[in-house]
Amino acid sequence: MRTIQANYLRLETLNNANDRINNATAKLPIFKHYYIQEGIVHVSADGQKFEAKRETFRTRYSSKYFGTAKGLSNVSLNAHHMGINNRIIGSNEHESHYLFDLLMNNSTEIIPDVVSTDTHGVNHVNFALLDLFGYHFAPRYAKVGTVIEKMFNVTTDKDDRVQLSLKKPINTKRIMDHWDTIQRISVSLAQRKTDQATLVRKLSAYKSNHPLLEAFTEYNRLVKARYLLSYIDDPELRSHVQKALNRGEAYHQLRRAISQVNGDRFRGNSDEEIELWNECARLMANAIIYFNSKVLSNLLQSFEHHGKDKLAEAIKRASPVAWQSINLKGKYLFGQTGEAPDIEYLMASILEYVPLSEK
């Protein structure tokens, strides 16, 4: 085991294994029913705090989550229940500074269209930055009324209809004057010559009246204003955002269940070892989700084939993020048979299930 850990457990190989599992899940018959909106990949990003067993260079105090201990935060990018990317950051770092990098470094075949976060995923550049690269940023605000009041004047007309107008008009000239510079920054990000966290730090170092910072801020306000108007006017959009975030929370519960096997703390004596542990945990979570999705796919195909429409509809609404059937704390024996588990044999006890091979 030590030899395997030393020679085969590397971030590159683990990431490749995660990608292969996620890509395989995306090819299963059940996957098309995981879409929140037809033809649109709606993902979510959120952080999850874990205490660390050992103090490392990046571990930090957080009395809210760790008491007197130190820990780190794992920011996950979740697409259709699966963890398609993640990143370890300090518990004192802002999650929003890594959202773009999570999207750009996604190496699966699942390409996001819309990305949702909670309030922690919002900063002064994310609307603009994601819009530049064709992503639609759709955050959920904890206090959306306060956000709207800060940006808009809210009045009523003579017919008691609510009217919204920007408190401060968008300075489109400032955006156009610095559009070439904004595009050059985009090229640097696309070519990975810099990352989002570095860009945010540099912009934050500028004075508030710096022309480039003002251009980015105005561009961000423009995209944000359009989104807020849609958000308050479209209940379906709010439902989609909430559903995407709920899936992220369910995935976090699975990750927490896996981590509790080891005392709910990050393993490792260094930041590199912690990243390996984290990627291994993602691999386990994605493997469980694939297994459940495969079972659901077999059930769906069987029920549809045999005309059991009500059961088929129930399967379409089922979540693959479940681990009650997985003995996470059990003892396992691995035989070198070279054969994959027989899914049909494992599913034999499921009521109403008839394998397609049986007619």
**Average pLDDT of every residue of the chain:** 90
By the 8 A CB rule, do 124 and 220 touch?
yes
Residues 6+ positions from 357 with CB-CB distance below 8 Å: 344
Q: Is the pLDDT of residue 110 over 90?
A: yes
Distance (Å, whole) CA 47 – CA 59: 15
pLDDT confidence tier of residue 1, bands split at 50, 70 and 90:
low
Work out the average pLDDT over 97-118.
Answer: 94
Report pLDDT digits (tens) over 173-203. 999 999 999 999 889 888 888 888 888 888 8
359 is a domain residue = no
Q: Is the pLDDT of residue 77 over 90?
A: yes
Lowest mean pLDDT of 21-35, 48-62, 112-126, 306-320, name the range: 48-62
Number of domains in the chain: 1
Give residue 149's identity as a one-letter amino acid code: E
By the 8 A CB rule, do 294 and 348 touch?
no
Percent of the chain with pLDDT over 70: 98
335 is a domain residue = no
Residue with tokens 């909670």: 118
Distance (Å, whole) CA 312 – CA 199: 48
- Exposure class string for 47-83: b at 16+ Cβ within 10 A, else e: bbebbbbeebebbbebeeebeeebbbbbbbbbbbbbb
By the 8 A CB rule, do 24 and 84 touch?
no
Work out the average pLDDT over 24-28.
Answer: 97
Distance (Å, whole) CA 161 – CA 265: 53
**Residue 132 DSSP SS3:** helix
Which tokens hold the place of 218? Answer: 């105005």
Q: Which residues pair with 152 in a beta bridge?
A: 166
Work out the average pLDDT over 279-283.
Answer: 93
Work out the average pLDDT over 102-115.
Answer: 95
Short-list 84, 115, 135, 122, CA closest to 241: 115
Report pLDDT digits (tens) over 284-312. 999 999 999 999 999 999 999 999 999 99
Work out the average pLDDT over 250-264.
Answer: 89
Enter the pTM of the model: 0.90
Q: Is the pLDDT of residue 76 over 90?
A: yes
Distance (Å, whole) CA 252 – CA 249: 5
Q: Is the pLDDT of residue 358 over 60?
A: no
Query: First CA to last CA across the chain, in angstroms?
Result: 45
Task: State residue 4's pLDDT score.
Answer: 73
Range of the domain at 75: 2-327+340-346
Report pLDDT digits (tens) over 199-216. 888 887 788 788 888 999
Work out the average pLDDT over 6-11.
Answer: 79
Count of other CB atoms within 10 angstroms of residue 252: 19
Work out the average pLDDT over 46-62.
Answer: 89
Pairing, β 70-79 against β 60-61: antiparallel
DSSP secondary-structure letter at 269? S
Short-list 166, 141, 135, 173, CA closest to 152: 166
Which tokens hold the place of 18? Answer: 């995660």
CA dihedral sign, ordered 8, 47, 106, 190: negative
188 is a domain residue = yes
More confident residue, 2 or 225: 225
DSSP secondary-structure letter at 188? H
Report pLDDT digits (tens) over 315-357. 999 999 999 888 888 777 777 777 777 888 888 888 888 887 6
79 is a domain residue = yes
CA distance readout (Å), 285 to 171, 234, 272: 46, 34, 20
358 is a domain residue = no
148 is a domain residue = yes
Distance (Å, whole) CA 273 – CA 283: 15
Percent of the chain with pLDDT over 90: 57
Residues 6+ positions from 83 with CB-CB distance below 8 Å: 18, 76, 77, 251, 255, 282, 285, 286
354 is a domain residue = no
The answer for 332, left when phi > 0, alpha when psi is -120 to 50, beta otherwise, is beta
Q: Is the pLDDT of residue 64 over 90?
A: no
Q: Is the pLDDT of residue 359 over 60?
A: no
152 is a domain residue = yes
